[in-house]
Amino acid sequence: MGKGRLEAFSDGVIAIIITIMVLELKIPHEANLAALRPLIPVFLSYVLSFIYLGIYWNNHHHLLQAVRQVNGRVLWANLHLLFWLSLVPFVTGWTGENHLAALPVAFYGIVLFCAAIAYYILSRVLIAHHGKDSTLAKAIGNDFKGKISVVIYALGIALSFVNTWLSFILYSLVAIMWLIPDRRIERMLSS
Amino acid sequence: MGKGRLEAFSDGVIAIIITIMVLELKIPHEANLAALRPLIPVFLSYVLSFIYLGIYWNNHHHLLQAVRQVNGRVLWANLHLLFWLSLVPFVTGWTGENHLAALPVAFYGIVLFCAAIAYYILSRVLIAHHGKDSTLAKAIGNDFKGKISVVIYALGIALSFVNTWLSFILYSLVAIMWLIPDRRIERMLSS
Amino acid sequence: MGKGRLEAFSDGVIAIIITIMVLELKIPHEANLAALRPLIPVFLSYVLSFIYLGIYWNNHHHLLQAVRQVNGRVLWANLHLLFWLSLVPFVTGWTGENHLAALPVAFYGIVLFCAAIAYYILSRVLIAHHGKDSTLAKAIGNDFKGKISVVIYALGIALSFVNTWLSFILYSLVAIMWLIPDRRIERMLSS
Amino acid sequence: MGKGRLEAFSDGVIAIIITIMVLELKIPHEANLAALRPLIPVFLSYVLSFIYLGIYWNNHHHLLQAVRQVNGRVLWANLHLLFWLSLVPFVTGWTGENHLAALPVAFYGIVLFCAAIAYYILSRVLIAHHGKDSTLAKAIGNDFKGKISVVIYALGIALSFVNTWLSFILYSLVAIMWLIPDRRIERMLSS
């Protein structure tokens, strides 16, 4: 089974998720700076979520490059990842509207945590399908970055009830860590 | 006529349907757990609908794999299927907002019933186009799963006026039955 | 310049237009049949618009099949067509919400009229690019169906101020005329 | 790394942005011309934004044609461009709703300015990846049109506090300048 439609469908879903988030930026009725002020936290959480979805799209792109074929299990592991990503606009809007209150920030972390787990499952299902000695398996390796992300998210969720800014610093830390593109797969493929 | 654009268009429509459903999860204005409680039935019907659309996408993917070419009739049979799927967000939202009241649950079943019929028509039109001795025709066979699904949906619709939980158990039963991916086509193609 | 991205972009835009129309079906707060009644005209105009966009997608699909390459003029002629199609959800919603009042029905016709003109321009620009002796030019021919559609739309717009049902019968007539797929191009390509 | 998914993802995002802007055309509750009047500025800014996004899609299409492969930096430069384009519906709606008031017009210009900078960065990152002697580098050249656009936008932003019509004339001037398709790349590729 080819991977073409899996990529196309994932591209479509991520493109829509990344774009509908902008609908949360409700157009103000007045034309002054004061009318924009309540939008600042909404805008900031939009930027962070845009970066997160960009990271997932980039990593998905990298991951699928080393993939040769897919099966039914891969399709569902991929849909599972898209499910958690589809909740990003909701937690983004909730966090933004409540000016980084504790509970929305915790839920933001939970969705990121579940998406990270789903990405990990997807990579394992792909390795199981390609074999432990495949280029893909070697390229992913022990996935240290994936595992440490999950730990930092868990810490961020716990700390959201102490100080939501600490949580956001932790979430952003993971984003920065991933912004450095995942060269493992590129390196393996070119070697 | 190639099948590429048919797949791309279907991917696009299903990607949008699956994603706009999340807009029904209205962002609460308060940042506490009580504000999330009314969202629970909306969330549950979102999860079920996400799984249903995932099943249709997966089966569509499997079905189209054995397809060699398409014609005008296939394009319309496919649009007919997409039409019923496009109503899933509406019945999902209506069911979720009314806490599984009888009529919305019945309509939910009607939309699933019509989508199942539309999928059946699509597979028949494809077989008619490829010939009764084609790989596709053999792969689909007598489509027992498709037929039994329609019967269970009809039962679920009738039972919605008795007990809506019974309907949801029946609808979920069909989902579980289909979650086991349709290996018929995969098997035929590889043999 | 290849036609791949032109097709992909058009597929994306039409997929979104056809799907966001369903958002006009506002979810009722009550769970009874009376709550659905005001949605009937909205639903009917949704069905008609879905069929219209389906027709345009199908014809676009047929038209692009005979196309070998595109240029900047083709890209813009295509965007011009997509612009008018993008207004279909607006006129659909306006017509449905006002129970087929004269002005919305007239505007519905105007948008269909402009889309038909835009489609005609696109086919002419494509012929100019491929040459008068190309397979494409022969396949499209004098485009009788395209021209008669424009005339019927104009008649429907004029009649909307007399009787909106007459307009809808005329608009539906064009739809039925086009539902019979455009076999000209298929025939030319296979000969 | 192939450019296929980069194109597909960008097509998806631009298709969605261009289409969701039409949702700002709120359906009026009355069926008369007076009900349409407040929509005129919204419609005009929709038309202008549609043309702008069409220009970006066309230029993106032209730019990517000369591209052979992409890397992680290109993916992010592209996402950066899509980020600014995703804000077009917001500034379009704000400008339209406030009848071309000074601040929204200035913000409209800022978003266009940032998108132009992002497009410039994308073209530089692509040149850096392909080498200074590549067809791509020669095709883009010193990018006079790109640089002059940025200057005109800056002027338009400044003038929005004097006369918003002057700003709109300047923004439209850039649009007209770009509507003449970028033949540089086409010329280079065919030579």
Question: Does the pLDDT at position B181 exceed 60?
Answer: no
Give the minimum alpha-carbon distance from C162 to chain B in angstroms, rounded to a whole number. 32
The neighbour count for residue C181, using CB atoms within 10 Å, is 18
Give ∠ CA D83-A59-D134 in degrees, rounded to 5.
Answer: 70
More confident residue, D190 or D61: D61
Instruction: Tell me the chain B residues in contact with residue A16 when contact means C-beta distances shorter than 8 Å.
Output: 15-16, 19-20
CB atoms within 10 A of CB D105: 28
A35: number of CA atoms within 13 Å, CB side? 12
Mean pLDDT of B16-45: 88
* Confidence band for C139, pLDDT divided at 50, 70 and 90: confident
Distance CA A132, CA A138 (A): 8
Burial class (CB in 10 A: 0-12, 13-18, 19+), A46: buried
For residue D21, the Cα-to-chain-centroid distance in whole angstroms is 14
Which of B18, B55, B176, B190 is the mutation pick for testing A, counting most A CBs within 10 A? B18
Contacts of B75 (CB under 8 A, 6+ apart): B6, C57, C58, C61, C181
Which burial class, exposed, middle or buried, applies to A190 when counting CB atoms under 10 A from its CB (0-12, 13-18, 19+)?
Answer: exposed
Q: Do C12 and B12 touch (CB under 8 A)?
A: yes
- Which amino acid is it at A147? K
How many CA atoms lie less than 13 Å away from D62 in the CB half-sphere? 26
Number of residues in chain A: 191
Tell me, what's the pLDDT at A38? 85
Checking if the pLDDT of D67 tops 90, the result is no
How far apart (Å, rounded) are the C-alpha atoms in residues B175 and B165?
Answer: 15
- Tokens 């249709």 correspond to what residue? B56
d(C-alpha D89, C-alpha A23), whole Å: 9
* Max mean pLDDT range (A82-86, A183-187, B19-23): A82-86
**Mean pLDDT value of segment D33-57:** 89
Partners of chain C (3+ Cβ pairs below 8 A): B, D
CA torsion D154→D159→D164→D167, rounded to 10°? Answer: -40
Say what percent of chain A tops pLDDT 90.
46
- If we measure between CA atoms, which residue out of D19, D22, D14 comes closest to residue D59? D14
Distance from C-alpha of D27 to C-alpha of A40, rounded to nearest angstrom: 28
Give the residue, A167 or D134, on which the prediction is more confident. Answer: A167
Mean pLDDT of B153-165: 93
Task: Name every residue in A having a CB less than 8 A away from some CB of D.
Answer: 7-8, 11-12, 14-16, 18-20, 22-23, 25, 27-33, 47, 50, 54, 57-58, 61, 64-65, 179, 181-183, 186
CA–CA separation, C22 and A2 (whole Å): 32
**Residue A189 binned pLDDT confidence (cut-offs 50, 70, 90):** low
* pLDDT given at position D103: 93
Q: Where are the domains of chain A?
A: 4-190
Cross-chain residue pair B22–A86, CB shorter than 8 Å: yes
Q: What percent of chain A has pLDDT over 70?
A: 93
Q: Do A1 and B186 touch (CB under 8 A)?
A: yes
How far D128 CA sits from the closest chain A CA (Å)? 17
DSSP type of residue B28: P
C to D CB pairs, distance under 8 Å:
80
- Closest CB to C93 among D27, D58, D65: D27
CB B147 within 8 A of CB B177: no
Out of A179-188, B92-101, C107-116, D132-141, the most confident range is: C107-116
Distance from CA of C14 to the nearest CA of B (A): 8
pLDDT at D31 over 90: no
Distance, CA of C3 to CA of C7 (rounded, Å): 6
Residue D153 confidence (pLDDT): 95
Res A104 pLDDT > 90:
yes
Report chain B residues whose CB lies below 8 A from the CB of C186.
1, 71-72
Residues of D in contact with C46 (CB under 8 A): none
Residues B13, C7: C-beta atoms closer than 8 Å: no
Q: Which residues of D111-143 are buried (b: 16+ CB within 10 A; e: fewer)?
A: bbbbbbbbbbbbbebbbebbeeebbbbebbeeb
Q: Roughly how many angstroms between the first and final C-alpha of chain C, as a whole number? A: 26
User: What mean pLDDT is predicted for residues D73-93?
Assistant: 94
**What is the tens place of the pLDDT at every residue in C12-36?**
999 999 988 888 888 898 888 998 9
What is the distance in angstroms between the Cα of D162 and the nearest Cα belonging to chain C?
32
Best of A21, A70, A90, A160 to disrupt the B interface (most B CBs within 10 Å) is A90
Work out the average pLDDT over D8-31: 89
Q: Which residues of B touch A (CB under 8 A)?
A: 7-8, 11-12, 14-16, 18-20, 22-23, 25, 27-33, 47, 50, 54, 57-58, 61, 64-65, 179, 181, 183, 186
Q: What percent of chain D has pLDDT over 90?
A: 46
Half-sphere exposure of A55 toward its Cβ, with a 13 Å CA cutoff? 26
| Whole-number Å distance between alpha carbons of D182 and B159 | 63
Asked if A9 and B14 come within 8 Å (Cβ–Cβ), the reply is yes
pLDDT for the residue C188: 60
Please state, for a pLDDT cut of 90, what percent of chain C lies above it.
Answer: 46
CB contact under 8 A, C76 and D54: yes
Average of per-residue pLDDT values in chain A = 88
First to last CA, chain B: 26
Q: Above 80 in pLDDT, residue A14?
A: yes
Please judge whether A15 and D20 are an interchain contact, meaning their C-beta atoms are less than 8 angstroms apart: no
> pLDDT band for position C185 (50/70/90)?
low
Cα nearest neighbour of C72 on chain D: D181
| Nearest CA-CA distance, residue C53 and chain B, Å | 10
Which chain C residues are within 8 Å of D15, Cβ to Cβ?
A: 9, 12-13, 15-16
- The whole-number average pLDDT for the span B76-104 is 91
Asked if C12 lies within 8 A of D7 by C-beta distance, the reply is: no
What is the CB neighbour count within 10 angstroms for residue A75? 21
Residues D85/A50, Cβ–Cβ less than 8 Å = no
What is the distance of C-alpha C107 from the center of its chain?
14
| Spatial CA neighbour of A13 closest among A52, A57, A62 | A57
Mutate to test the interface with D, among A6, A19, A92, A177 (most CBs of D within 10 A): A19
Per-residue pLDDT reduced to its tens digit, B134-157: 888 887 777 788 889 999 999 999
Which tokens is D22 given?
Answer: 């039409």
Q: Please answer yes or no on whether D27 and C79 come within 8 Å at the CB atom.
A: no
Distance CA D125, CA C91 (A): 43
Taking an 8 Å cut-off on Cβ atoms, the answer to whether D94 and A179 are in contact is no
Evaluate the CA torsion angle A31, A29, A38, D94 in order and state its sign.
Answer: negative
Closest alpha carbon within chain B to C46: B83
Report whether D12 contacts D84 (CB < 8 A): no
pLDDT band at A178 (very low <50, low <70, confident <90, very high): confident
Q: Residue B21 corresponds to which tokens in the numbers above?
A: 């459903």
Residues in chain B: 191
- Whether D184 shows a pLDDT value over 70: the answer reads no
Indicate the average pLDDT of chain C: 88
What pLDDT score was predicted for residue D142?
Answer: 76
- Cβ separation C71–D20 shorter than 8 A: no
Cβ within 8 Å, pair B13-C15: yes
Bigger pLDDT: C139 or B94?
B94
Task: Quickly list H helices, chain B.
Answer: 4-20, 33-36, 39-65, 72-86, 88-97, 102-130, 135-140, 144-159, 164-179, 183-190
Residue D121's pLDDT is 93
Q: Tell me which of C19, C33, C47, C183 to substitute to probe the interface with B (most B C-beta atoms closer than 10 Å).
A: C19
Question: Chain C: nearest CA to B144, how far in angstroms?
Answer: 30
The CA R_g of chain D, rounded to the nearest whole Å, is 18
pLDDT in tens, A41-63: 888 889 988 999 999 998 898 88
Specify the pLDDT at position C42.
85
State chain D's mean pLDDT as an integer: 88
Q: How far apart are CA C74 and CA C121, in angstroms?
A: 9
Q: What residue of B is the nearest CA neighbor of C66?
A: B1
Cβ within 8 Å of residue D18, ≥6 positions away: C13, C82, C86, D50, D53, D54, D57
What per-residue confidence (pLDDT) applies to A90? 93
| pLDDT score recorded for residue C12 | 92
CB nearest C15 (choices: B16, B72, B102) = B16
Say which residue the tokens 């394009």 belong to.
B75
Q: Categorize the per-residue pLDDT at D185 as very low, low, confident or very high, splitting at 50, 70 and 90.
A: low
Nearest Cα of chain D lies from the Cα of C72 at a distance, in angstroms, of 6
Smallest CA-to-CA distance from D109 within D79, D144, D154, D78 is with D154
Q: How far apart are CA A63 and CA A80, in angstroms?
A: 16
